[in-house]
Chain A
């Protein structure tokens, strides 16, 4: 391979497949761009980020304690916590505790992304976390988003899709985010008992089916909206999922996910033409396994992978290549990742992808060789750019196309962030032109090189570097 070509591919490996270059990374990758990427593919998945050592079980207990305190406070007649309470109010403290956990998780996640030498592996993990979005828009889920990613996603990103799917859909964060925890089979023993007794204890309405999780598994996580399912399939799948819930105060000695046979809808189910015999939790597992194996799932997810890594409108040849790898290995995600690395379409010189705000932030820290030290350095800029961390607005996750992120206001805000970070870090950069080469390698174009060299200050040069079209794209 010609040196020029390999220089370019080294830069592409680090900036397009990875999360942007730290000093020296492009130099390493240039020796063998594909080998550099493949070395990051490993069965044990991506490294977890710090969550103060707490997992989802601990977070569930904490949230339950918060709820209990709130209920007690309400019974005692004190006004509900609405942000106006005193700082030493136990309810306010508990609520703040939940929030602090979340901000700690967010910071830990950005720090791993800013520092990891395995940028491709980290990007692959971020892709799957977004595919299986859970969002802190519900306070109850906020403390679980980080543990969800560490427990369900990161260990399985280079395993088989069915295992990743199973872990994601049955994690407490997903069960709460998509309302599965409350769903009850209308003809289950629990519902029948309730009907015989009239109303539910405490006078609340009778409980029943919630089809949110079933629908989003079909539409967003497996076969996709054109996958050939109907409203009847959604409802049938929702019935099969009943029983899957979260332990409550009455489930003494049990924490986390539980299967309650008494709330499971009895009977056989038919989903997308396949009959599933009467059963317990294995009914839903069998449906998930069949969905994972469907060719529509391979098509839908491989299209998303190609779109994330290569182009908003991905080349059909690339999608076909990924699909072949998926179908011939039963959804082995390590093989799919390698097929992506080997695909010639993925190395197209033109950087078709605009970085999302998160990618822009992370790659800026990587270029400057630092990491954010406080949530304030992360939450403000990402919120202002429309990508509030852990706060995806819907189960579809963050968009992966340029158009929503290229709002004119967002460009101005990216520029202001570049100015801000360059004002602090820029003066310490001895040679901005050298930094530009370290950051973009052979992708750095002539116009940008000249503009950076002509800057009137180091801060201005660094801000320019972060705002060049080459840095904004990948």
Chain B
């Protein structure tokens, strides 16, 4: 019976849970995988999926406007030229864009906006746990993992999530891990973390080959294309292992492009594309049951600024990918770039609440019920209806 335990966990997270019922479909198929990629720094949606058919696009973007090299999606939208994997997926009906999404935060501060993005709360610094972690809690016996050396907020919280980053293999003979687990028995932070870390190491050893390939990304916050692909393959190795995690989070840094944006952003987007490529290739048949969501804390100004870059804005583009996705056009409305349509005469208008997209995926792909989504996972969000028809 998961009810009472769930209640305790929710309480610990500082959230009220007004019911004790089962919150997730008992029939969540164990093969469904969900990966969230957090692109930090404010990813420029107008470069990820440039609206090259929008009559105002070139005038606003000037030197940053992407022209014929962009990879066409439909009569309005294309993808950045360095996103060929995602473009191939889109052509196969396995990738869609949501071109005007935003979290409820409007402060244009990275740190506030990342907090709201990752906690799923309606306002800033309302809770210290992440929405993906609480979704995992609600699902009961589900494993989660983050890739990278630090624990991202989106996956911090009541459910113990694992983390992994490339490194050397454990010394199997050493007594130290056992001795430390004894020493950490009374430590509420170090005890569970080390235990989980050792489990993940065992899983890493069992899943084998892809791991060593990821060695190149050690400590880099902006992995190169090869390292990003290897990271995707490594994550795929975990996800498809027997009893492996169903839910994962990855962070990519460096999207804050105030100056000289074109070359800087191309490098980062190429890594994003390579990460998806690694996941897609690594998952093999499991890709069919997978959804990957790439999100950022806010978009950037519609106009190019005075230094060949863009400043903090509002609406941005989310990428929704995976073999489990239903084919279709853009997700949400396109408010256009007409002057009167811009948010505060400055940013892409936030036409779709990011939580609606996230709730829709959690509902249709992982079977979370509306009540849990409205309160536990995304507090005080009953008025934000989950999008339907995605999966």
Contact of B259 among A210, A220, A384, A413 (CB under 8 A): A210
Contact between A183 and B197 (Cβ–Cβ < 8 Å)? no
Contacts of B149 in A (CB 8 A): 383-386, 407, 409-410, 413
Contact between B201 and A183 (Cβ–Cβ < 8 Å)? no
Contacts of A447 in B (CB 8 A): 182-183, 186
Question: Looking at chain B's contact residues, is the secondary structure mostly helix, strand, loop, or mixed?
Answer: loop
Contacts of A464 in B (CB 8 A): 176, 179-180, 183
Question: Could you write out 18 A-B pairs with CB less than 8 Å apart?
Answer: A137-B254, A211-B311, A215-B312, A219-B111, A354-B189, A384-B149, A386-B150, A388-B221, A394-B41, A399-B150, A404-B151, A407-B146, A407-B163, A408-B193, A408-B194, A409-B167, A409-B200, A415-B177
Q: Which residue of B lies closest to A212 (CB)?
A: B258
Contact of A408 among B41, B186, B196, B221 (CB under 8 A): B196
- Write the nearest CB–CB distance from B186 to chain A, whole angstroms: 8
Contact between B221 and A393 (Cβ–Cβ < 8 Å)? yes
Q: Residue B108 at the A interface, CB < 8 A?
A: yes
Q: Residue B93 at the A interface, CB < 8 A?
A: no
Q: Which residues of B contact A (CB under 8 A)?
A: 40-41, 62-63, 107-112, 124, 128, 146, 148-153, 156, 160-165, 167-168, 170-171, 174-177, 179-180, 182-184, 186-187, 189-190, 192-198, 200-201, 218-222, 253-254, 256, 258-259, 304-309, 311-312, 344
- Write the nearest CB–CB distance from B189 to chain A, whole angstroms: 5
Contact between B40 and A393 (Cβ–Cβ < 8 Å)? yes
Instruction: Report how far A468 CA is from B176 CA in the complex, Å.
Output: 11
Contacts of B218 in A (CB 8 A): 380, 383-384
Contact between A403 and B201 (Cβ–Cβ < 8 Å)? no
Contact of B170 among A183, A416, A418 (CB under 8 A): A416
- Write the nearest CB–CB distance from A217 to chain B, whole angstroms: 13
Contact of A384 among B171, B189, B219 (CB under 8 A): B219
Contacts of A204 in B (CB 8 A): 63, 308
Q: Which residue of B lies closest to A399 (CB)?
A: B150
Contact of A394 among B192, B256, B259 (CB under 8 A): B256
Instruction: Report how far A410 CA is from B165 CA in the complex, Å.
Output: 8
Instruction: Report how far A220 CA is from B259 CA in the complex, Å.
Output: 20
Instruction: Report how far A209 CA is from B346 CA in the complex, Å.
Output: 14
Contacts of A184 in B (CB 8 A): 306
Chain A 131-150 interface 0/1 with B at a Cβ cutoff of 8 Å (1 = within):
00000010000000000000
Instruction: Report how far A219 CA is from B220 CA in the complex, Å.
Output: 26
Q: A210-B305, A403-B156 are in contact. List 16 more A-B contacts (CB 8 A).
A: A208-B307, A210-B311, A225-B107, A231-B344, A383-B149, A386-B149, A396-B110, A402-B189, A407-B149, A407-B150, A407-B197, A411-B193, A448-B183, A464-B183, A467-B180, A472-B190
Contact between A393 and B259 (Cβ–Cβ < 8 Å)? no
Instruction: Report how far A17 CA is from B137 CA in the complex, Å.
Output: 38
Contact between A205 and B63 (Cβ–Cβ < 8 Å)? yes
